[in-house]
Amino acid sequence: MNKIPKLIGITGGIGTGKSTVCRIFALLGVPIYDSDTRARWLMNHLPALRQAICEHFGPLAYQADGTLDRVYMARQVFKTPKK
């Protein structure tokens, strides 16, 4: 029998329990790929992506410590839906 692993995507709005479901899967030994965590890492570590974000949203997109200012970015994006 050919055992092809199943890929399951967990989606939903804020506060719908995605993280809880993923923690349960992890406790059961299911490998988890957390795209939110990876996206944050990429935005904080890839120079070309950082540059593009700053060009589009301005220099305040990053805090003094070099990490993405998520509060600033949320204000920019939700205030201007086109962004």
11 within some domain: no
**In angstroms, rounded to a whole number, what is the distance separating the alpha carbons of residues 31 and 22?**
9
26 within some domain: no
The position carrying tokens 């709005």 is 13
User: Which tokens belong to 49?
Assistant: 């992506």
29 within some domain: no
User: Which tokens belong to 56?
Assistant: 């589009």
pLDDT at residue 63 above 90?
yes
82 within some domain: yes
Q: What is the pLDDT of residue 71?
A: 94
pLDDT digits (tens, 9 = 90+) for 41-62: 999 999 999 999 999 999 999 9
With contact defined as beta carbons under 8 Å apart, do 68 and 61 qualify? Answer: yes
Instruction: Say which DSSP state 6 is in.
Output: P
Q: Pinpoint the alpha helices (H) of 13-79.
A: 18-27, 35-45, 47-57, 70-79
Question: What is the tally of structural domains in the chain?
Answer: 1
